[in-house]
Structure 1
Amino acid sequence: MTSRIPPDLRGRRSRDPFWVAVSALFHGIHRVRSLRTPVLPNIRPVDRSLTLVVREVRREAVDVISLRLAASDGGVLPTWQPGCHLDLLLPSGRRRQYSLCGDPADRRSYRVAVRRLPDGGGGSAEVHEELAEGSTIKVQGPRNAFPFLASESYLFLAGGIGITPILPMVKAAERIGADWRLIYTGRSRATLPFLDELAELPSSRVEIRTDDEHGPPDCADLLRDAGTSVYCCGPAGMIDGVRAAFSAGTLHYERFTPPPIVDGRPFQIELARTGAVIDVPADRSALEAIKEVLPSVAYSCRQGFCGTCRVGVLDGTADDSMLICVSRAQGGRLTLDL
């Protein structure tokens, strides 16, 4: 039997209690979902670029200068930790990465050091020749691809300009009372930057070995009594030798030069914008081959982590893009958006 709901005094029919309950239930569910679902603000990309002023240029060793960079108004700069680097966007358009080698507690300035390299692609020469006190330069960062981690003991190995990321680590280890040693190698004392700052640390913990006094370093000998963690930065030959001789503990290293190519195969690259076809030998990177035809091609770290040299792949067996400093085809031809 169907029951009828009597009208009210104004002639309107009363609401069915069942549908009142259902309506209330759905209203409650909708309200709970609204409370649980956050309203996302408009997301804008963060510009991590800074325009800084060169406050000081100082000669640190043969062919090595340091730059002290600061905000034009002397304002506070973003924090950084030992191992961090800055990307310098040079006036020519080149992008180069240099380790921060100052004091992380100094929030008013950054310090980087640059060795002039005749065959370094022009970036270091531009820093030495074009940047002076009062120059402005855009930078990005700081970023850290070589973090300094807590450990029971440390052995620091630095070769030449490789002291730049190591120096803040050594000072941090001393500050926290850690057990540490530093072996600093190079051609001669005249080529080694920051010897004056290292002289302020306990002499028993710092060993300077130069080729003209001690002969080329033996990596197995460097690693004697290595300790828990080894941090190494220097020329490719030094890093490769340390890696080959390393046997115990944890090894952290950072290259200033690209890693060697192992088991590479020759292939070809076609530059879509000019039609030029480039042969890439088995023992060279695509970047090196492209630079001979297109010197202005963008690159920085040459190790595959900064992303500066990423280009689009228009045709060939590869992903939609590639890092031409380290990526390569296994034969055949790639057409790149260059």
Structure 2
Amino acid sequence: MRLVVAGKREIAEGVAHLTLRDPGGAPLPPWTPGAHVDLVLTPALTRPYSLCGDPADRTSYELAVRHEPAGRGGSRHVHEELAAGDELEVRGPRNEFELVPAGRYLFVAGGIGITPILPMIAEAESRGVPWRLVYGGRTRASMPFLDRLTGDRVELYPQDETGFPDLDALSPGDALVYCCGPSGLVDEVVRRCPPGSVRVERFTPREDAGAGPRAAFEVELARSGRALTVPADRSILSVLEEAGVPVLSSCQEGTCGTCETDVLGGVPDHRDSLLTPEERAAGDTMMICVSRSLTPRLVLDL
């Protein structure tokens, strides 16, 4: 899609809120809580950002982006280059963080990790499902959307006032836990929750992501029958791009799911920070930007 930046404003210290619309006023593709879109900021710079508005509003997409000057360039471009009235290519929406039905929810957010959680809370509220939110940040002024988060089900932890949230006291019980934020927070929440009770979305890869031996292997493209060699020092994604195979990608570090590809044969060596243990065990999909192969050949649905 080509969308226009209909509005840009600061909603917290270092956080820009974007409103994107179709230039001709056409309705935008539907989405569900937890979804993200990819912003093609330059030909060499594509980044995923979570949608944080109302899924029922087909007239616009809302995003919130924290300025990370030491990051890989996406947030700097949004904050320093992108302006109201600009048009840009937008891909998606896609959802790798889907809100699945549950009897109750515990939401845990760190900083800008509140963005995918906001529409989840609204969805839980509309279904009449009990929920609780634990939301931490560096300072109250740096935590976006505080005006939308009130009531006794919301626990706020500005670090300069309260310190870090007491994760030992989370007590999820029978709640399904959704957590988004810095890797340290996500890792600690996962460690404290029973297996299968937590869904996470990360800003950066897990510390152990990408670990393991690296050897060359072949990928067969099922739709064309082509076979390509992936050297030990290259990713599947880079080999496919060099060979002119059309594939989508965004983060290129195994966190966003844009490059997820179906596996028709062979055993993938999962090195992403996104798939659940059950999805990894099934072996029928993989993130080709970082994952490799445990067998001499993989057959991909490409």
| Structure 2 CA distance for partners of 1:301 and 1:82, relative to 1, 3 Å | farther
**Distance of 1:248 and 1:224 partners within structure 2:** 14
Report if aligned partners of 1:154, 1:228 keep a CA contact under 8 Å in 2: yes
Letter of the structure 2 residue corresponding to residue 167 of structure 1: L
* Aligned residue in 1 for 2:166: 218
| Structure 2 CA distance for partners of 1:244 and 1:127, relative to 1, 3 Å | same
Alignment length (residue pairs): 243
* Aligned residue in 2 for 1:149: 100
Note the aligned Cα RMSD (angstroms): 2.8
**Greater CA drift, 98-107 or 253-262:** 253-262
Q: Give the counterpart of 1:117 among 62, 65, 68.
A: 68
**Greater CA drift, 183-192 or 241-250:** 241-250
Report the secondary structure of 1:156's partner residue. Answer: strand
Q: Is residue 2:30 matched to residue 1:94?
A: no
**Distance of 1:323 and 1:175 partners within structure 2:** 33
* Aligned residue in 2 for 1:106: 57
Letter of the structure 1 residue corresponding to residue 183 of structure 2: A
**Distance of 2:127 and 2:293 partners within structure 1:** 48
* Aligned residue in 1 for 2:180: 233
Alignment of 1:66-77 (within 5 A): 66-77=17-28
* Aligned residue in 1 for 2:194: 247
Report if aligned partners of 1:154, 1:226 keep a CA contact under 8 Å in 2: no
Q: CA deviation at 1:178?
A: 1.2
Q: Is residue 2:141 matched to residue 1:190?
A: yes
Q: CA deviation at 1:230?
A: 0.6
Report the secondary structure of 2:152's partner residue. Answer: helix
Q: CA deviation at 1:326?
A: 2.9
**Distance of 2:42 and 2:195 partners within structure 1:** 45
Q: CA deviation at 1:181?
A: 0.6
Query: 1:209-243, CA deviations, whole angstroms, 9 ceiling, x for partnerless residues?
Result: 1211111223222x224442111101000000011
Alignment of 1:300-319 (within 5 A): 300=251, 302-303=253-254, 305-307=257-259
Structure 1 segments of 4 or more deviating over 6 A?
266-269
Report the secondary structure of 2:37's partner residue. Answer: strand
Max Rg structure = 1
Report if aligned partners of 1:230, 1:249 keep a CA contact under 8 Å in 2: no
Report the secondary structure of 1:66's partner residue. Answer: strand
Q: Give the counterpart of 2:123 among 135, 150, 172.
A: 172
Query: 1:143-201, CA deviations, whole angstroms, 9 ceiling, x for partnerless residues?
Result: 100001111111110110000000000111112221111111111111100111113xx
Letter of the structure 1 residue corresponding to residue 68 of structure 2: L
* Aligned residue in 2 for 1:59: 10
Report the secondary structure of 1:60's partner residue. Answer: strand
Report the secondary structure of 1:261's partner residue. Answer: coil
Share of identical aligned residues, percent?
47
| Structure 2 CA distance for partners of 1:227 and 1:268, relative to 1, 3 Å | closer
**Distance of 1:239 and 1:206 partners within structure 2:** 19
Q: CA deviation at 1:92?
A: 4.7
Letter of the structure 2 residue corresponding to residue 85 of structure 1: H
Report if aligned partners of 1:113, 1:164 keep a CA contact under 8 Å in 2: yes
Q: CA deviation at 1:264?
A: 2.9
Structure 1: segments with no counterpart, 5+ residues: 1-49, 270-278, 288-297, 309-321, 331-338
Q: Which has the higher contact order (CA 8 A, sep 6+)?
A: 2
Q: CA deviation at 1:268?
A: 9.7
Query: 1:1-40, CA deviations, whole angstroms, 9 ceiling, x for partnerless residues?
Result: xxxxxxxxxxxxxxxxxxxxxxxxxxxxxxxxxxxxxxxx
